[in-house]
Amino acid sequence: MFREKMFDAEAAVTLLNNWTYPKLIDEFDRSLDVLREGNLDFTYERGFVGTPGISDITTCIAESLYFRDGSRALRVMSKHCASGWSQWTALHPLPQGELQ
């Protein structure tokens, strides 16, 4: 099914996944600046997403971008990727009023 509108997270993920994954934080910050220059308004969060008792919490770190249109972008740490991170994935906004 074709949609006329692309969610902000979908546009951001396309840009971020084509960015060379740097290991340096200042490089990552520059990639977020590119999103800001494109007028994509978002909030950035990084945190632990595991269960209690995990011996190596670095395997459960996630980064999220929350966009004004309700869409989100997410990536998690991954030892199987050269950058140490999975690719970004886009999540559509949750339906309003249908979830309780």
pTM of the model: 0.76
Task: Report the pLDDT value the prediction gives residue 58, as an integer from 0 to 100.
Answer: 62
34 confidence band (pLDDT: 50, 70, 90):
confident
Domain extent for 22:
8-88
Question: Would you say residue 67 lies in a domain?
Answer: yes
Determine how many CB atoms are found less than 10 A away from the CB of residue 76: 16
Question: Would you say residue 23 lies in a domain?
Answer: yes
Token match 């869409």: residue?
71
d(CA 35, CA 10): 12
b/e 21-39 (16+ beta carbons within 10 angstroms → b): beeeeeebeebbeebeeee
Question: Would you say residue 1 lies in a domain?
Answer: no
Q: What is the pLDDT of residues 46-72, one digit of tens each?
A: 988 777 777 766 667 899 999 999 999
Number of domains in the chain: 1
Question: Would you say residue 3 lies in a domain?
Answer: no
Burial grade of 52 (CB within 10 A; 0-12, 13-18, 19 or more): exposed
Question: Would you say residue 59 lies in a domain?
Answer: yes
Question: Would you say residue 19 lies in a domain?
Answer: yes
The answer to whether residue 89 scores a pLDDT higher than 60 is yes
Question: Would you say residue 78 lies in a domain?
Answer: yes
Question: Would you say residue 33 lies in a domain?
Answer: yes
d(CA 19, CA 92): 22
